[in-house]
Amino acid sequence: MSNTLGDPEMKLIPLLTILFTLSTAAYYPPDRNSLQGKVVFGYQGWYKTGPYDNSWFHWFDASPSNKSFDSDFWPDTTEYPAECLASSGFNFTDGRPAKLYSNSCPGTVDTHFRWLYEYGLDCFFLQRFYTVTKQSKAATTPLVSLVMKSAEKWNRTFVIEYDLSGGGENSTFSYITQDWNYLVSNLSILNSPAYQHHNGKPVVELWGIGVRTSLSPNLTYSLVSWFQSQGCYVIQGVDKSWTYNTSGPYYPTYLLGDVIQPWMVGVYWNSIVNSYLSRSGTVGDMATIRNRNLTLQYSSVIFPGTTASNRGHAAGATINQAPFTRDNGTFFTRQAAIVSAQKPLFIFVAMFDEISEGTQVYKTIAKKKDVPTNVRLVAYDSEGGDFSNDYYLVLSNNITRNFRNVWNVPYEYQPNVTTSASATATSASATTTSASATATSVLQGEEADFVI
């Protein structure tokens, strides 16, 4: 098996110049009954605009200004319907107004699902935040309907993921369980052919167990138990140190769920990713599961990098991408190679659209010369190299194809549209040698032919 990220003859992504073309061919629907071998994407869907929502939530702290913009990148909005866009107050170099999208607009969500379809990607885990949803359920619940409709239209799948951040001991259990009952009874999400199942059960994720310690061990245990009593397949998003203390207060809850998914965003960066993941993360966790004879399945979290300097709004400060630089995509693909070789049940990419923390993989302006001029921003080429706006969607397609190969899950996907992405990486020859050698040594013979 040749498990390389990209063409079968390529040994590194990105390497010198990559030209990857998705050409017109057969339509490939994802398997809605299994998570095995899937690469899924967290979907925030929380961006709003003044004209559409009377709010600039997650784009700006308040009203638009260059001192309150919340992202270090700028999204590529050229494919969104005009009715979904609003002027930000910034301009491009040619004088055109720079516009931002609203997730409340059906065309925005539909565009994002179309991109899943066009790049051969399967599934969104829709983040349903305890605090935001509780404060304005009427404003957040329509997004679920939009996601379900577009998932059905583009034959993709989706999962509800509850982010328990901000939950309190007295209200979290009743609120989350009532919300799930509402989604099932009123929106009929489980009747949708697009809702993702595994082993015959609808999938749900509870994120923050052991991470958000405002939620007691008894509460989290009760939540997991309740969802299992409803016939759900339960994924737990947990702290990276979940294996350390078998007598710890949350450990019984960890063992109760079906899948464990430790959160890894911000834990390591490119200069230490190989050394860290060779002893911790997926490699170490899955070894622990085997050694302790646990019945848990495992999900690996990977991310393309992160930068969030504008969220701090430090006056006069420059945007600091270190230490979580994307390194021209190699940070993303190194993680994918190492965790894929361990054969977790599925891989979770954080995130599809969280541009406010710089973890997005969706279409983003890649060239610094093309971003709006009157706000401080970076672009993919700020690290050097020559990238297209869909570069990380192409890498996501490559990662998906190769993870399917590891699991021997058929992947014949080529959509009925044509798109391409090209990239140039610096110091490619040196990176090829070190990446291939490191991947082989780290994997220690397990799927060692999966080389980035």
Q: Given pLDDT bands bounded at 50, 70 and 90, which one contains residue 321?
A: low
Q: Given pLDDT bands bounded at 50, 70 and 90, which one contains residue 414?
A: low
What pLDDT, in 10s, does the model give residues 334-388?
999 999 999 999 999 999 999 999 999 999 999 999 999 988 899 999 888 899 9
3-state SS, residue 382? helix
Q: Given pLDDT bands bounded at 50, 70 and 90, which one contains residue 63?
A: confident
Tokens in use for 420?
A: 């391409």
Q: Given pLDDT bands bounded at 50, 70 and 90, which one contains residue 403?
A: very high
Strand boundaries in 258-320, DSSP class E: 259-262, 297-302
DSSP secondary-structure letter at 69?
B
Q: Please give the distance of CA 328 from its chain centroid, rounded to a whole number.
A: 18
Distance CA 367, CA 378 (A): 8
Average confidence score pLDDT of the chain: 84
Q: Given pLDDT bands bounded at 50, 70 and 90, which one contains residue 412?
A: low
Which residues have CB under 8 Å from 187's CB, separation 6+? 141, 144, 145, 148
**pLDDT > 70? residue 14:** no
Tokens in use for 272?
A: 């230490």
By the 10 Å C-beta count (0-12 exposed, 13-18 middle, 19+ buried), 61 is classed as middle
What pLDDT, in 10s, does the model give residues 434-449?
333 333 333 332 222 2
Q: Given pLDDT bands bounded at 50, 70 and 90, which one contains residue 169?
A: confident
Strand boundaries in 172-243, DSSP class E: 197-198, 201-209, 233-238
Q: Given pLDDT bands bounded at 50, 70 and 90, which one contains residue 415?
A: low
What pLDDT, in 10s, does the model give residues 90-137?
999 999 999 999 999 999 999 999 999 999 999 999 999 987 777 666
Q: Please give the distance of CA 387 from its chain centroid, rounded to a whole number.
A: 20
The 10 Å Cβ neighbour count of residue 9 is 7
- The alpha-carbon radius of gyration of the chain (Å, integer) is 21
3-state SS, residue 364? strand
Mean pLDDT of 39-64: 92
Tokens in use for 20?
A: 């990857």
- Residue 163, by phi and psi: left (phi above 0), alpha (psi -120 to 50) or beta? beta
Mean pLDDT of 310-334: 73
Q: In the chain, pLDDT over 90 holds for what percent of residues?
A: 67
Give pLDDT, residue 347.
Answer: 98
- Going along the chain from its start, the domains and CATH numbers come out as 31-401 (3.20.20.80)
What pLDDT, in 10s, does the model give residues 251-293?
999 999 999 999 999 899 888 998 898 888 999 999 999 999 9
Give pLDDT, residue 319.
Answer: 62
List 20's β-bridge partners, or say none. 421
**pLDDT > 90? residue 316:** no
The H-or-E segment that residue 405 falls in is helix 391-407
Q: What is the pTM of this model?
A: 0.87
Distance CA 222, CA 79 (A): 44
The H-or-E segment that residue 97 falls in is strand 97-101
Tokens in use for 4?
A: 């390389």
What pLDDT, in 10s, does the model give residues 130-165?
877 776 666 689 999 999 999 999 999 999 999 998
Mean pLDDT of 394-415: 88
Give pLDDT, residue 112.
Answer: 98
Give pLDDT, residue 318.
Answer: 60
